[in-house]
Structure 1
Amino acid sequence: MTDTALILIDVQRGFDDPSWGKRNNPDAEANTARLLDAWTGPLVLVRHDSTEPGSPLRPGQDGNRFKPELDRAEPDLVFAKDVNSAFHGEVDLDAWLKARGITDIVLAGIQTNMCVETTARVGGNLGYRVRVVLDATFTFDLEGLTADELSRATVANLRGGGFAEIVSTDDVL
């Protein structure tokens, strides 16, 4: 699987802050840990460095740190971003992947309908085979929609738009 990279997006402690509201998929972190434990290919960790003054994801805050499930990770690349797509961060992810002959990406992380979906869309546009491990993502209620509704919308957007395949942790393992 050296032509496939696992990209874990924004798996950060700041998303445990109650200010985010009600979340879905309480098993997301456990599934992320399962992926990480079994993964043998290239591993990329992406961190969201918020520029918002009160955000728990701001650099220097405890919430900016990765969640404990990633403590044992041995990533090939770690970098930060301050926008939704991991392809628009401190590192040119597209160039990094192409330089290593990586054609497929497996995505997991936080939030399903924000940074994970945006990264999947950009990755699909760039020609990667993208798989989103839905049960290793979660999101929060937003704008009158539940987190589960937003996750279902992400599935419809990514599948319907031809951006990504939706898979489970068991599918990947």
Structure 2
Amino acid sequence: MTRTALFVIDIQGELAQDPKTEIPHAKRIREAGDAILTKAREAIDKARANGQHSDLEIVIVQHEEKPEEGTMIRGSKSWELVFAPREGDDTEILVSKDVSDTFESNPQLASQLKARGVENIVAFGIQSEYCVRSTCNGALAAGFKVTLLQGAHSTYDVDGKKAEEIETEVGQELKEKGTDIIPWASWQP
């Protein structure tokens, strides 16, 4: 059975819940994330209720910095997750990282996912041009089929570019490398 891992990337306090530091489209990302996770968890629960193993798992990615590197320090409000994995649910895992690419930060992750039958990665989160792009590139390099959920990833306005422009550029760059880009609302687990 081909399985999919839904990557929820760095939707954390500093980036998505603090009015002083959050990205401009934090509310959109929180609302999209809530809807995506609800849909994914309902599909997992439905499979269980029917006595089946789900072909979906959820990977919650949490960025962590050292005090000299930034403010997303383990235990801080900035570091806290907006969407935590469900307690005691073996279809949801928490992965910590300290560089942009989740796979680079966790060299064993690709083989662990493949051992569980995962061939597809579906990704969304924060920041488009850093951790989202890097993790998608890492997944492609590891041989996964990758889908990026358009409208469910974003970033800050940077260097005279609006966040939406950066989202589009990252989507186009990843599409040219073989990533499927689909509107988040059309994704079906």
| Equivalent position of 2:180 in the other structure | 165
Shift, 1:20, TM fit: 4.6
In structure 2, what residue type is equivalent to 1:130? V
Cα distance in structure 2, aligned partners of 1:17 and 1:155: 26
Question: Which is further off, 2-11 or 96-105?
Answer: 2-11
Instruction: Give the secondary-structure state (helix, strand or coil) at the position aligned to 1:131.
Output: strand
Relative distance call for 1:107 and 1:54 in structure 2 (3 A) is same
- Structure 2 unpaired stretches of 5+: 45-55
Aligned-pair identity (%):
26
Cα distance in structure 2, aligned partners of 1:143 and 1:78: 32
Instruction: Give the secondary-structure state (helix, strand or coil) at the position aligned to 1:64.
Output: coil
In structure 2, what residue type is equivalent to 1:56? T
In structure 1, what residue type is equivalent to 2:64? D
Relative distance call for 1:22 and 1:14 in structure 2 (3 A) is closer
Q: Is the 8 Å Cα contact of residues 127 and 153 (structure 2) preserved in structure 1?
A: yes
Cα distance in structure 2, aligned partners of 1:77 and 1:91: 16
In structure 2, what residue type is equivalent to 1:140? Y
Q: How many aligned positions are there? A: 171
What are the superposed Cα offsets for residues 95-122 of structure 1, whole Å, 9 maximum, x if unpaired? 1111101000111111111101111111
Q: 2:172 matched to 1:156?
A: yes
| Equivalent position of 1:47 in the other structure | 62
TM-score (norm 1): 0.87
Q: Is the 8 Å Cα contact of residues 112 and 134 (structure 1) preserved in structure 2?
A: no
Pick one of 72, 77, 80 that aligns with 2:93: 77
Cα distance in structure 1, aligned partners of 2:37 and 2:30: 10
Q: Is the 8 Å Cα contact of residues 8 and 45 (structure 1) preserved in structure 2?
A: yes
| CA-based RMSD | 2.3
| Equivalent position of 1:26 in the other structure | 27
What are the superposed Cα offsets for residues 121-144 of structure 1, whole Å, 9 maximum, x if unpaired? 111122111001122212101122
| Equivalent position of 1:9 in the other structure | 9
Cα distance in structure 1, aligned partners of 2:76 and 2:98: 15
Pick one of 136, 146, 150 that aligns with 1:120: 136
| Equivalent position of 1:147 in the other structure | 163
In structure 1, what residue type is equivalent to 2:5? A
Instruction: Give the secondary-structure state (helix, strand or coil) at the position aligned to 2:59.
Output: strand
Q: 2:95 matched to 1:94?
A: no
Q: 2:112 matched to 1:111?
A: no
Relative distance call for 1:127 and 1:66 in structure 2 (3 A) is same
Shift, 1:42, TM fit: 0.8
**Which has the higher Rg, Structure 1 or Structure 2?**
2
- Structure 1 unpaired stretches of 5+: none
